[in-house]
């Protein structure tokens, strides 16, 4: 095991379980923060793995995660929060015919 793999293991052993706990048990806002932090930590692990295994293709995973994680976090939060917003227009709003 080299230093790159040890650094990735430290990131997987420390922050990842804490983030998963917050995502599973927190309020909606805390779940959003936990999911965002989890994607950041996993992205850092994906950046450490190319040095550990001497494969540059793992950097592509980190790039894709960095691009897709914010949208995935927002979708996850939307499903966790549910549809709390009323989609009907207000009674005096323009365009509803009243």
The alpha carbon of residue 84 and the mean position of all alpha carbons in its chain are separated, in whole angstroms, by 22
Report yes or no: 8 and 49 within 8 Å, Cβ to Cβ. yes
Segment 50-75, tens digit of pLDDT: 888 888 888 898 889 889 988 887 78
Predicted confidence band at 76 (pLDDT cuts at 50, 70, 90)?
A: confident
**CB of 38 within 8 A of CB of 23?**
yes
Separation between Cα atoms, residue 98 and residue 89, nearest integer Å: 11
pLDDT of residue 31: 82
């Amino acid at each position: 095991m080299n230093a790159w793999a040890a650094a990735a293991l430290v990131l997987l052993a420390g922050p990842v379980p804490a983030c998963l706990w917050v995502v599973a048990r927190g309020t909606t806002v805390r779940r959003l923060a936990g999911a965002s932090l989890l994607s950041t930590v996993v992205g850092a692990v994906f950046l450490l793995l190319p040095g550990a295994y001497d494969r540059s293709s793992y950097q592509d995973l980190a790039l894709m995660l960095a691009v897709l994680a914010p949208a995935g976090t927002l979708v996850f939060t939307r499903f966790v929060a549910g549809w709390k917003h009323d989609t009907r227009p207000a009674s005096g709003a323009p365009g509803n015919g009243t």
